[in-house]
Copies of this chain bind each other. A is one copy, B any other.
Amino acid sequence: MTTPTPSPSLSTPPAPSPAPLRLGVAGLGTVGAGLLRLLQREGDLLAARTGRGFEVVAVSARDRSRDRGVPLTGLAWEEDPVALAHRPDVDVVVELMGGAEGPARALVEAALRAGKAVVTANKALLALHGTELAALSARHNAPLLYEAAVAGGIPAINLLRSGLAGDRVTRVGGILNGTCNYILTEMDRSGRPFDEVLKEAQAKGYAEADPTTDIGGWDAAHKLDILASLAFRPLTFESLQVRGIEAITPQDLRFARALGYRIRLLGMAQEVPARSPQAGHPEATEETRIVAWVGPCLVPSSSRLAHVNGVFNAVVAEGAACGPLVISGAGAGEGPTASAVAGDLVALARGAALPVWGVNPPPAPVAGGSVEELESAFYLRLLVRDQPGVIAAVGKALACEGISVHLVSQHALEASEASETTDQAGTDIPQTWMTVVTHPAPGHAMARATTGLEALDCILQAPLVLKIEPLA
């Protein structure tokens, strides 16, 4: 019989210290000012939850004179944010400046080196320098928390760390960029083209003046890299495959809808089994790999993701035992992001911070596999000559790669889509849209088939090929 031993670590936390946790906040934009407001408004509630309150002791921002609607009297002001890391009266550095390099990176590194806990909302910093930061955090025993870096007010990091703590995560991702989701759903709703809706999004403050990070899929990729690194193992950012939404037209949204789908920019990561051991080497160790990609896809109209509209985000996390979970909410904004930062502060005050990637020492990062290893159905949008034999030619190009077709349909060009294509003699070529939905096929077969299609005489434009994700 096992000797009975007491298990003191199971007990609820001991009576907490009354000393408030002292914060140094760098960055007083929307989120920084929002955090100060939240701490002021909910101070008593958060103190009751943690047994100790929070006290902002020092701040740093670009413009000292700007009115942010929160009183800064009594707070120390640091011109150089990095100075927050060296103040003896700061327990926790809260980094809300953004940017993968420069002062944000310098501050976070300095704070971890000084053994101070760090809370950040900086997705690019984590995605690009997570490996070094996780090592610093482990070496100096300084927690680094980043709930606000992914999907704003949706506690996605907490879902992976605690909610699914008892399960093996098999897939993670979702609708991770509100700007793209706004643009796609607004194009769908109004039938207006990409450029026009992007301009409107910029006017409304949903898109940056330089929108490349958002519409190119890079912001979603930063978040996906963080989710995948936590759910599986650290993933080098360079190995993610990223496509933006620039090529999506109102026609695609219309065609997708008619086929029973919606188009969403998704970022998804999953473990895939390694290729089977080679013949003659049956003993070769099977290792799973992670495939992570960002790109516009078709999701079934009946799926939960199809009903996430506008600037909202949704995170999908699938457990081997619990199946797929979908959590949706506000992916950005003052309140949601401040709420996420405050959640991390509560975790710190409770002494419940976990290692950056879940385990210490942090595992070395690996490169993700190719999205072409994945099998899925595909949607193709082709501009073709309106003449007999085209369907046969397209079908043959797909069949050559073993891809079978589920559905083909043709759609006349609308007046606004008037052809500008002429043949060598300058005569207008009669043309039509053709959409194809395939049965599930490996991505590499689809890539080869696309090359085959591009070579066809009857195809007048590079085909648009989108994955169809059968997400619940």
- On A, residues with C-beta under 8 Å from B are 1-2, 4-5, 7, 9-13, 16-17, 19, 21-22, 34, 38, 41-42, 45-46, 48-49, 57, 88-89, 91-92, 117, 137-138, 141-143, 152-155, 158-159, 162-168, 302-304, 306-308, 319-330, 335-336, 338-355, 358-360
29 pairs, A vs B, C-beta closer than 8 Å: A1-B89, A9-B17, A10-B143, A11-B141, A12-B355, A34-B321, A42-B167, A49-B359, A153-B321, A154-B325, A155-B159, A158-B159, A162-B346, A166-B338, A166-B344, A302-B307, A304-B307, A304-B308, A319-B335, A319-B339, A321-B338, A321-B342, A322-B329, A322-B340, A323-B329, A324-B329, A326-B327, A350-B352, A352-B352
Taking the closest CB of chain B, its distance from the CB of A44, in whole angstroms, is 10
Does A10 lie within 8 Å of B329, measured CB to CB? no
Does B166 lie within 8 Å of A10, measured CB to CB? no
Residue of B nearest to A14 (CB): B141
Does B307 lie within 8 Å of A164, measured CB to CB? no
Residue of B nearest to A153 (CB): B322
A19 to B22, CA, bound (A): 36
The residue in A166, A340, A351 that gathers the most chain B C-beta atoms within 10 A of its C-beta is: A166
Does A153 lie within 8 Å of B338, measured CB to CB? no
Residue of B nearest to A50 (CB): B165
**Given A2-B57, A9-B351, A307-B302 in contact, is the A38-B166 Cβ separation under 8 Å?**
yes
A374 to B92, CA, bound (A): 42
Does A11 lie within 8 Å of B323, measured CB to CB? no
Contact of A143 among B11, B335, B341 (CB under 8 A): B11
**10 residue pairs, one from A and one from B, having the closest CB atoms:** A166-B342, A155-B163, A4-B88, A153-B322, A166-B343, A322-B339, A321-B335, A165-B346, A321-B339, A325-B329
Does B339 lie within 8 Å of A164, measured CB to CB? yes
**Given A89-B2, A327-B325 in contact, is the A360-B155 Cβ separation under 8 Å?**
no
Contact of A336 among B41, B159, B322, B328 (CB under 8 A): B322
Does A165 lie within 8 Å of B49, measured CB to CB? yes
Contact of A164 among B10, B12, B155, B349 (CB under 8 A): B155
Taking the closest CB of chain B, its distance from the CB of A420, in whole angstroms, is 38
**Residues of B contacting A46 in the complex (Cβ-Cβ under 8 angstroms):** 166
A4 to B88, CA, bound (A): 5
The residue in A19, A319, A328 that gathers the most chain B C-beta atoms within 10 A of its C-beta is: A319
A99 to B168, CA, bound (A): 30
Does B162 lie within 8 Å of A158, measured CB to CB? yes
Taking the closest CB of chain B, its distance from the CB of A94, in whole angstroms, is 12
A21 to B7, CA, bound (A): 8
Taking the closest CB of chain B, its distance from the CB of A52, in whole angstroms, is 9
**Residues of B contacting A13 in the complex (Cβ-Cβ under 8 angstroms):** 354
Does A12 lie within 8 Å of B328, measured CB to CB? no
A323 to B155, CA, bound (A): 12
Contact of A353 among B12, B49, B153, B358 (CB under 8 A): B12
Contact of A49 among B2, B21, B303, B358 (CB under 8 A): B358
Taking the closest CB of chain B, its distance from the CB of A160, in whole angstroms, is 10
A92 to B45, CA, bound (A): 31
Residue of B nearest to A354 (CB): B12
**Residues of B contacting A41 in the complex (Cβ-Cβ under 8 angstroms):** 320
**Given A10-B143, A49-B358, A339-B319 in contact, is the A163-B167 Cβ separation under 8 Å?**
no
**Residues of B contacting A1 in the complex (Cβ-Cβ under 8 angstroms):** 89
Taking the closest CB of chain B, its distance from the CB of A259, in whole angstroms, is 18
A48 to B358, CA, bound (A): 9
A2 to B20, CA, bound (A): 11
Contact of A153 among B88, B323, B344 (CB under 8 A): B323
Taking the closest CB of chain B, its distance from the CB of A49, in whole angstroms, is 6
A326 to B343, CA, bound (A): 18
**Residues of B contacting A342 in the complex (Cβ-Cβ under 8 angstroms):** 165-167, 321
**Given A153-B323, A168-B45 in contact, is the A7-B91 Cβ separation under 8 Å?**
yes
The residue in A57, A142, A330 that gathers the most chain B C-beta atoms within 10 A of its C-beta is: A330
**Residues of B contacting A138 in the complex (Cβ-Cβ under 8 angstroms):** 12
Residue of B nearest to A2 (CB): B89
Does B167 lie within 8 Å of A339, measured CB to CB? yes
A340 to B166, CA, bound (A): 7
A92 to B11, CA, bound (A): 11
Residue of B nearest to A356 (CB): B12
**Residues of B contacting A321 in the complex (Cβ-Cβ under 8 angstroms):** 34, 38, 42, 153, 335-336, 338-339, 342
